Structure 1
Amino acid sequence: MKLNKINIAIMTALIGSSAASFSPLSYAETSTESHIDDAEVIAVVGYRKSLKQSQFLKQEATGTQESILSEDIGDFPDLNLAESLQRIPGVSISRDSGEGRQISLRGLGPNFTRTRLNGMEALFVTDSGIDQRGGASRTRDFDFSVFASELFNRVDVLKSYEAKQDEGGIAGTVDLYTAKPFDYDDEGWNGVFSAKGLYNDRNDSTDPRFAALVSNRWDNFGALFSAAYSTVDTIEEGYHVWSWKQASFGADNVADSVDAAVADRLINAEGTDRVFVPRANNIASWANTRERLGLTAAFQWQPADRLSMDLDLLYGELSNDRIENQLSTAGTNAFTGDVNKGQLLTDAEIHGDNLVYAQFDHLDLRTESKVSYSESTFTQLSLNTNYELSDRLVANLLLGYSDSDFDMPIHDKVFAEAADHTVSIDWRSGNHGHNNYDFDVTDESEWNLMRSDVREDSMDNSYGTAKLDLSYEVMDDHYLMFGVHYKEYESSGWERRNRVDWLNDPDAPDAVFQQTAIPVLSPYAIANNQATFERLEATGKISRSLDESHNRPGTVYDIEEDTLSLYAQYEWRSELLHYPVRGNIGVRWVETDQVSAGEVQLGADEFDFAEFNNDYTELLPSLNVVVDLNDDLLARLGLNRNLSRPGLNQLRAAAQVQVADQSINAGNPNLEPFIADSLDLSLEYYSDNLTASLAYFYKDMEGFIVQQSQTMAYKDTGYPLAFLDFDPRVTPQSEFTVSQPVNSEDAYVQGVELSLQFMFEFLPEPWNNLGFNGNLTYADGETTIYNEGQAHKVAPPGLSEWSNNVTLFYETNTYGVRVSSSHRDEFITGEGASQNIVAGYEETLFVDFKAHINLTDSLKISLEGTNLTDEAIVQFLDDRTQSYTQSGRNFILGVNYAF
């Protein structure tokens, strides 16, 4: 049997908490024991059959489950796991640097989905080069862009919960599986090698992607090794603002040429009656070279019929080498909010509450030249032992440890200023603002060195896991399962910054200027970052090496969580009124001890260390039942209670003061977890050519965590005035938005999922090779956020009202082609910056294609295209555009050889 032939009887032993067979301990709960007696054997050699395999697993599961399997080992159907997951009903993804990054499941954001690697809970974080997307931040959101998809041969999405699962995923659990040597029947060497080249039409570059896997079995022992490496160059170009903010204009800053009614409102309006203005209107471009390396090793040993042992090792490394160029209205006399310095507004237009056109005299512009380098690494080691203590009692022990580190040692910025110009900003037409200048922005003589910044970030996360699961066969097809699970989680990190203002400094060196080196909406002169920094460091006034004295307020904090869980679950398969019925009922007891400790800065050089302790205990019952109404039709019911823990940044012990953004984000170590009671119902039809399902889900959440915010003068916040020394443009009278997370009112999410898979095999040739796979999800929900002391009912973060995925394919034994589209409605990400109520993303539609031809049984050539419409990513604040970027189309040519 070749490497790309997978015996379903083996694969179903790897299927997750609701196994296709009726197994006392399933692999998702760290057992490889299988109780398959008469499972069909299917060779998974193409997209069509991998779809059939996935539907077989979904049909035989007890809970609601979706699965994705590789068409061939080493040939996962998408370049990125997030891109693959978006094909699943109820799953939507967010994107960064042209790739899928994080997922939302059934209307709930990334924090509500738990991710496991080979049965162990995992957390992997990285950063975004675009500040408006969060930059480097500490959350529980798993970043699916870190691992090459070739490392995995299977992904399961468990949408319903049962007691033997780890708690923590109200939306669901994503199980990622790497390949194992016993996946293959044949003894001897098996292997695969693939090579691809990726071309992006925006940056006109071609990048390599390689993957290899080798496996062997020697009687009762097997070993497997795999590796994947890729580099991807992407460029996102577009336009963005820091935020839209209600601003005040000085009477001397508005010329008589401005319409009298407009001038009166700008000058005299107060509080919430003021006009929203776009802060720092930026023509920007972000270039990123993403380098990814993944390694896996798997060893399986069965020394006796009743004993098996698995040892899995996984290493992942992702680096982002970025260049960012910006031309902004953010100089000394800036248009970044209040207008009360040397600027003079000469013309303006207001639509509703928004200043959509403004022309200034005496405005100072700023360019930003940034280089940054970040590296994320992930290491996991797990030992899984399965032992049949007797004919009826099976024990499984899992011991594992994982460590995820993020480091950004380079984050250097050089700013240059062009002073005293006439500039207009126009938001009246098009997808974003449009800037016009009274001078040639590419003229290097117009620009002078303004400022330099350095920054470093570090975030570390680790999991220690010990699980003991026991299963006792009470009678045929009836099992009592029970176990004890212990997890130890630790997170630590810091952010360090320093800056020097060079304007009017007699010791300031001249910057080294160049033209923008990456594609941008309009070219301009910009400082050469590296060459200029060499001159800056030579003055001795700034260094790229930062220490603890440069810690940014509120970023130095540690979170520790120790969780002990006990569960009991009863599983059965029987008949009721002549209908086959299978199901499980159970309860899980969870106790978590949490410590949040952080560095609190009391003044410029005065620190204290605070520590907060919290603990909580929950009982989480669950019931899942499946009734086979006939050979093709089944009904599924799920009832459960589950929890999700607050985000790490929400639990921090100190507040983060962001002077440039004029915001203060406080933590709350006393937050209680999200608690949700869930209902899942589905009706599913399976036949040779048609698979269809209609599902309803409802989640009632207690104590939903939301941000509450209030705008006030900085001097009234109680935070040290010394913090303002970081930016001389900000004064004690400047308005800051102060926000803090709280357990608020209850929230709910509900929705309907419709999926359809149709094979036209009944048609005459050649039309019998056609196929269709699609799904449509409608979701609705409500929570409460508090902005400026007012309660607002909004959809929960991550919820898109409508989303759908459609794939049309044609496949023969020799070749195949498919076209896919993925649509997602707009969604919010949380509370908006400044006085905006919400922030979020506009709707998107992505179109991809893939074609392949099998030259021989072992050799395959493929051609892929992604983002064929060059879809824009648009962020908003209420009804206002915050950023607009495009990253280009990707075309991938590849070869895959198996032996």
Structure 2
Amino acid sequence: MKPTQHRAPAFKRNLLLSVIAALTAGQAWADGQISGQLTAQVSGLPLQGSRVRIEELNVSTVTARDGRYTLRGIEPGRYTLSVSYLGVQTLTRQVEVSDNETLISNFQIKPATPEAEYVIVMGQAGSLNKALNVQRSADNVVSAVSADAIGQLPDTNVSEALQRLPGLSIERDQGEGRYVRVRGLGPDYNAVTVNGVNLPSPDSGRRAVALDVIPSDLLESLVVSKTLTADMDANSLGGSIDIQSLSAFDRDGMFYSFIAEGSYNELSDSTSPKLALTASDQFSIGSGTNNLGIAGGISWYDREFGSDNVETGGGWDFDDEGTLLEELEQRDYLITRERSGATLNFDYKLSDNTQLYWRNLYSRYTDSEVRLANIFEFEEGVAPGEAGVAEVARELKDREETQEIFSTAFGGSSRLNNWTIDYRAALSESSEDEPRHVSGAVFEASDAFESVSFTDTRQPHLSTPAAFLSVDSYEMAEVEKAGSGTNDEERSFQLDFTRDFFIAQHSAQLKFGGKYRNREKDNDVEIWVYEDFDENGFSDDQLLMSHYAADAPDYTLGQFGPGIDTAAVASALAGLNEEDFYSDEDSTIEDFDVEETVSAAYVMGRVDLNSLRLIAGVRYEDTEFSSMGTRFDGDEFSPLAVDNQYDNWFPSVHARYTLGENTQLRGSWTNSLVRPNFEQLAPNFVIDDEEAEFGNPLLDPMESENFDVGFEHYMGVAGVVSVYAFYKDIDNFIYQTDLAGTDQYGDYDEAITFANGDAAEVSGVELAFSKQLDFLPAPFSGFLVSANATFSDSEANLSYYDADESNWLSRDSKLPSQSDTTGNLSLGYESSSFSVRLAANYKSEYLLEVQDVTDADADVYVDEQTQLDLSARYYLTDGVQVYLEALNLTDEPYYAYVNGRAYNAQYETYGLTFKLGLTVTNF
């Protein structure tokens, strides 16, 4: 579908004038309003997500993070004000509203005992209760997790905390959670924000944000919006994940929390330290009382661990004569990951009607990896149990990668009678830096080895001759050095106007505004290839691996043999002139600069019709894209610049019908998009004889029409049962294909690029249940059960050109990263001094990669995974807690396969990790 052209500035101007004219032509509104705060009686903690309602007018609002609420535009009179918070009897009182005055009405929940309050607002049940209050009161479909809940399980980073929510699952790297999937849609189809500010990706070619960069200790909550309202960016198909950092107004008065932890990984036999400190307080400045809040935190975690791997990469030959293995790799990883972060946030109440904030988050993630590999290539494929001749090479990769994320936002909210104006300016930056390193030192066996065989097609175990283990069997053949850097920066400005009023005695609201986002991303790669050592002064003896050998790694999946010493390799190359080995082609073809500007405007309205709340709106986004890359035709380089522009309209309707105080139905129709990845858009064109590979900066964005219906019933403290069904109709699905043989690429044997498919779809059902078993007699009333499951299905159409048939063909495929079934089961128990929780996370197999668009048998799938984690905590005193955590209790491996589960693409194991820590907290 060709993008349509519109003049965005004229649209925004006309929209704003029309809305203002409609508002000023209406009736005058009264100025009376009610404000207050909801807190817990004993702890003083503010409570978010509570419904506050004027019964006679059917006017309602929701308490914010600091427990505060405001009801505006209330005509003078006497009313019944009610406050509803899960697990507590609804509070009501009579209030008198006067014109042009603000009535202050604060509430405190009053459980029968302090122990009952603990259950409601703290611990496992209280943490879940907070999240459910946010979910219940939201106008759209959301799932949430609080900082307290994150601390109840051994989740190291943001992505691992999110895997516990309904409809969410994660993709892991070396056993650690990294990317998040929402409702069966992969990480690149979801948006990530920090305090509402878009977060750019530190990865060079992706939009997906690797959430293992951000420590979970610096968060206050995580909120996942699965349906979008018109005032939200439309840039997600699965969902939008908002990371909310600390605020001093999240608690009452001085707060601090200190964590000291040590963890042990059995595979690497290493111990890793962790320290974290967060604190906040409120101050009185000027004539205000507790009107300035300052919150900050630091976190540091230095983890040493490893993994053992055996993989074929799908190197199987499936034919009528049987299945033969063509290539195989053994890999041993030693990894050090240092994850640090800091947050510093200021909140200032300038007056009763104006609040300002400045929020900052910084994260730094350094991943040091030493990878040793043995590479086997059979001259002819061999079957299991049979012997063959194989060329063998040993390889070393030793690199350090640092990713950084920084987000700063200044904004506020001002009220003027029935108007609310929200404003924000923000800057977000991310980067990835790989200093110059040995990206591949290859030592090849002088002669092919005979009698090489293997057993087990799932976890291949090799049998090799004695010469395989001898260091003098190998000579240094090639060393590649590399360095790279990626920078991604986004600036944004946002302005929103909200007016509350009545339509025929029905509470209503009109909201409109605009947003401007400018994003710049660049990628720079440098490659040096050292080879032909005999022509550069190396003797035959100097090339023998015995001069570069290191101790054999502790590899658990078979015989591995000697390692390779990085320092020895670097020393051998020190006397060479690196400029002689600089690779112009490899150092240029991945470089790019892109700029993307999105200008948006929206209008939306809300009306409460007794038990029904309706929200309807439309959003408009104009996207301008410019890119600079390189064309290389085998002989020379030339710059290649491509621009693109498109615009989109996103209508939406949300409905929430309340059957009772604790039961509600939801339904929505929304529209959204996902812009192509930068790897797909980069205008780099490389021609190698009759083969070409290139990006496609003229790709259309993926567009989705989304339908959601659901039922929610809340059952006291931490209790909910919910059922949701969803369907997504996706246009312009993006995939990799081969255009060789088509009119434009008729002279090529291969022309690999990215294209828009016709359509794709995702459908599914999402179930959730949790309950504190407080109806049982003590001590059994301390048990908590929580479970969720998502059943989904997807289908995409992949087209390709068959040069032999001179015709376009197609086949159906799953969407990448979509598991048919994901689920969580958590069993917990807590008392006033002790807490334990066992959590299982499951996801079924999913499509990892389409290796060949013409051959479904070459598709790579990741097998089903179940991870079991345990956490136990004991209060030494009211504010001092010791905890023990165990991760991956069943030592679940990562397994990918091709053409059925029997045939390995990759098998990797990580071992168990144990944590022992101490937490000191003051509320």
**TM-score class, shorter:** 0.7 to 0.9
Asked if structure 1 preserves the Cα contact closer than 8 Å seen for 2:449 and 2:468, the reply is no
Asked if structure 2 preserves the Cα contact closer than 8 Å seen for 1:287 and 1:323, the reply is yes
- 1:111 is aligned to 188
Q: What CA deviation, in whole Å up to 9, does each residue of 1:141-170 have, x standing for no partner?
A: 111100110010100011011101111011
Unaligned runs of 5+ in 2: 1-38, 52-58, 72-80, 86-108, 110-116, 284-289, 803-808
- 2:725 is aligned to 696
Offset, 1:33? 7.2
Q: What CA deviation, in whole Å up to 9, does each residue of 1:580-617 have, x standing for no partner?
A: 1223111001111111221222334x211111111111
- 1:383 is aligned to 410
Alpha-carbon distance change, 154 to 757 in structure 1, aligned in 2, over 3 angstroms: same
Asked if structure 1 preserves the Cα contact closer than 8 Å seen for 2:278 and 2:296, the reply is yes
**Which of 304, 320, 330 is equivalent to 1:283?**
330
**Which of 23, 37, 45 is equivalent to 1:7?**
45
TM-score, normalised via structure 1 length: 0.84
Q: What CA deviation, in whole Å up to 9, does each residue of 1:225-252 have, x standing for no partner?
A: 10000011121112013442669xxxxx
2-structure distance, mates of 1:658, 1:826: 36
- Code of the residue aligned with 1:304 in structure 2: it is S
2:491 counterpart of 1:464:
yes
- 2:250 is aligned to 183
- 1:94 is aligned to 171
2-structure distance, mates of 1:890, 1:636: 41
- 1:822 is aligned to 841
Offset, 1:3? 14
1-structure distance, mates of 2:359, 2:532: 54
SS of 1:123's partner is coil
- 2:279 is aligned to 214
The answer to which of 516-525 and 194-203 deviates more is 516-525
Alpha-carbon distance change, 86 to 423 in structure 1, aligned in 2, over 3 angstroms: farther
1-structure distance, mates of 2:362, 2:883: 27
- Code of the residue aligned with 1:151 in structure 2: it is L
**Which of 33, 38, 45 is equivalent to 2:83?**
38
SS of 1:89's partner is coil
- 2:700 is aligned to 672
**Which of 285, 298, 311 is equivalent to 2:345?**
298
- Code of the residue aligned with 2:464 in structure 1: it is Y
- 1:369 is aligned to 396
- 1:239 is aligned to 310
Asked if structure 1 preserves the Cα contact closer than 8 Å seen for 2:828 and 2:837, the reply is yes
- Code of the residue aligned with 1:615 in structure 2: it is Q
Asked if structure 2 preserves the Cα contact closer than 8 Å seen for 1:238 and 1:285, the reply is yes
Q: What CA deviation, in whole Å up to 9, does each residue of 1:496-521 have, x standing for no partner?
A: 22212246546223442123345353
The answer to which of 626-635 and 415-424 deviates more is 415-424
RMSD, aligned CA = 3.0
- 2:894 is aligned to 873
SS of 2:227's partner is coil
**Which of 378, 388, 396 is equivalent to 1:360?**
388
- 1:776 is aligned to 789
- 1:725 is aligned to none
**Which of 159, 162, 169 is equivalent to 1:85?**
162
- Code of the residue aligned with 1:145 in structure 2: it is D
Alpha-carbon distance change, 371 to 49 in structure 1, aligned in 2, over 3 angstroms: same
2-structure distance, mates of 1:382, 1:25: 23
- 1:317 is aligned to 364
Residues 65-464 of structure 1 mapped to structure 2, 5 A cutoff:
65-71=142-148, 78-126=155-203, 137-186=204-253, 189-218=254-283, 219-244=290-315, 278=325, 280-329=327-376, 334-335=377-378, 339=379, 345=380, 348-349=382-383, 359-361=387-389, 363-388=390-415, 390-412=416-438, 413-423=440-450, 426=453, 429=456, 431-464=458-491
2-structure distance, mates of 1:424, 1:642: 57
Q: What CA deviation, in whole Å up to 9, does each residue of 1:373-406 have, x standing for no partner?
A: 1111111111012111x21011011100011010
The answer to which of 790-799 and 75-84 deviates more is 75-84
Alpha-carbon distance change, 570 to 834 in structure 1, aligned in 2, over 3 angstroms: closer
Asked if structure 2 preserves the Cα contact closer than 8 Å seen for 1:683 and 1:694, the reply is yes
SS of 1:531's partner is helix
2:766 counterpart of 1:766:
no
TM-score, normalised via structure 2 length: 0.82
- Code of the residue aligned with 1:393 in structure 2: it is W
Q: What CA deviation, in whole Å up to 9, does each residue of 1:379-435 have, x standing for no partner?
A: 1111012111x2101101110001101011133022112222434565652522222
- 2:645 is aligned to 615
Offset, 1:348? 3.9
Alpha-carbon distance change, 856 to 836 in structure 1, aligned in 2, over 3 angstroms: farther
- Code of the residue aligned with 2:644 in structure 1: it is N
- 1:589 is aligned to 620
Q: What is the aligned-residue identity percentage?
A: 22
- 2:812 is aligned to 793
The answer to which of 620-629 and 528-537 deviates more is 528-537
2:920 counterpart of 1:897:
yes
2:762 counterpart of 1:754:
no
Asked if structure 1 preserves the Cα contact closer than 8 Å seen for 2:40 and 2:47, the reply is no
Asked if structure 2 preserves the Cα contact closer than 8 Å seen for 1:152 and 1:176, the reply is yes
- Code of the residue aligned with 1:607 in structure 2: it is F
- 1:729 is aligned to none
Residues 617-696 of structure 1 mapped to structure 2, 5 A cutoff:
617-655=647-685, 665-688=693-716, 690-696=719-725
1-structure distance, mates of 2:853, 2:685: 17
Asked if structure 2 preserves the Cα contact closer than 8 Å seen for 1:424 and 1:437, the reply is yes
Asked if structure 2 preserves the Cα contact closer than 8 Å seen for 1:833 and 1:877, the reply is no
**Which of 480, 498, 515 is equivalent to 2:551?**
515
1-structure distance, mates of 2:606, 2:369: 52
Q: What CA deviation, in whole Å up to 9, does each residue of 1:861-898 have, x standing for no partner?
A: 11111111111111233434211101111111111001
1-structure distance, mates of 2:731, 2:65: 32
Alpha-carbon distance change, 91 to 243 in structure 1, aligned in 2, over 3 angstroms: same
2:709 counterpart of 1:705:
no
Alpha-carbon distance change, 658 to 52 in structure 1, aligned in 2, over 3 angstroms: farther
Asked if structure 2 preserves the Cα contact closer than 8 Å seen for 1:325 and 1:516, the reply is no
2:129 counterpart of 1:52:
yes
SS of 2:229's partner is coil
Unaligned runs of 5+ in 1: 14-20, 127-136, 248-261, 267-274, 340-344, 350-355, 720-735
- 2:29 is aligned to none
Alpha-carbon distance change, 103 to 560 in structure 1, aligned in 2, over 3 angstroms: same
**Which of 556, 561, 575 is equivalent to 2:591?**
556
SS of 1:768's partner is helix
- Code of the residue aligned with 1:628 in structure 2: it is T
2:850 counterpart of 1:831:
yes
- Number of residue pairs the alignment of both structures matches: 805
- Code of the residue aligned with 2:647 in structure 1: it is T
SS of 2:781's partner is helix
2-structure distance, mates of 1:399, 1:200: 43
Q: What CA deviation, in whole Å up to 9, does each residue of 1:647-681 have, x standing for no partner?
A: 1111110146899xx99642111111111111100
1-structure distance, mates of 2:424, 2:65: 11
Asked if structure 1 preserves the Cα contact closer than 8 Å seen for 2:634 and 2:687, the reply is no
Q: What CA deviation, in whole Å up to 9, does each residue of 1:702-725 have, x standing for no partner?
A: 12112223689xxx9979xxxxxx
Alpha-carbon distance change, 72 to 759 in structure 1, aligned in 2, over 3 angstroms: closer
Asked if structure 1 preserves the Cα contact closer than 8 Å seen for 2:372 and 2:564, the reply is no
1-structure distance, mates of 2:492, 2:763: 33
- 2:24 is aligned to none
